[in-house]
Structure 1
Amino acid sequence: MTITQTQALDLWRRALLESVRADAPDLSSRQMAILLTVYLTPPPHTVRGLAQTLNISKPAVTRALDRLGELGLLKRRPDETDRRSVLVQRTVKGSVFLSDFAGQVMEAAQQAASGGMEPPVTAAGLGQAAASLPH
């Protein structure tokens, strides 16, 4: 199945709306990218490795991990084989959060396919909306 850019953006919008309505933690794009990387790619995960994979600085990864750790979605522990390295690990709470989020994405996709919720914005409407933003 191929979708247009506008359809992709509308699907993302619908999934975010479901997430907001579910009162889930409000994660930044960087935090969500780190969370998904840890859960969807094989371990081990380190701060250094995540920074390299995402092409962002180690301090940026550390700040995101601080927040994700506060929320209980990920945890860090020293690497027993290399004390200079910190391992980033999954948690049950993080697994539940992403399972719920995946369900919200799937629900958004089903609603979009069945024409439910608000109608998607057309490319012309997207251009008009962008043009109306203050510069």
Structure 2
Amino acid sequence: MKRIGLLFTLLILLTGCSEKGTKIENTTAYNEDKLEEVLDQNGHVKLAIALLHEKDLITGIRVNTFSRFQKKKIASEIKKKLEKAYPDLTVTVSADSKVLLETKKLIDKEKQDEYQKKIDKIKSIEKEQT
């Protein structure tokens, strides 16, 4: 009985740690379907958070464990696809956890008047890493 209880506890803990999906916040007139398609098509991406605001597209991604050594390559491939899909926007894609967390925090705050200042901060974080 103790072994079965321990097994169920481990399974619950492991399933709670796996975060998957795509979250997109769009404050523009641009269609977000192409963005979601690009992010979902890439099999290496485990989690993606994107923000479309004015002339900026900020995307933070988390890659699968076995793809972590190719993070920059995956991010640059996604960036190229998004630049092709949204030529009018300034596209920023990063696999850096800090960019992902800051983008998530920004979307969760829901204060659109502060978006541009925070977007500039996120861009500077992304430039620091490269």
TM-score, normalising length from structure 1?
0.24
Give the structure with the higher percent strand: 2
* Higher Cα radius of gyration: 1
TM-score, normalising length from structure 2?
0.25
Return the structure number with greater relative CO, CA threshold 8 A, min gap 6.
1
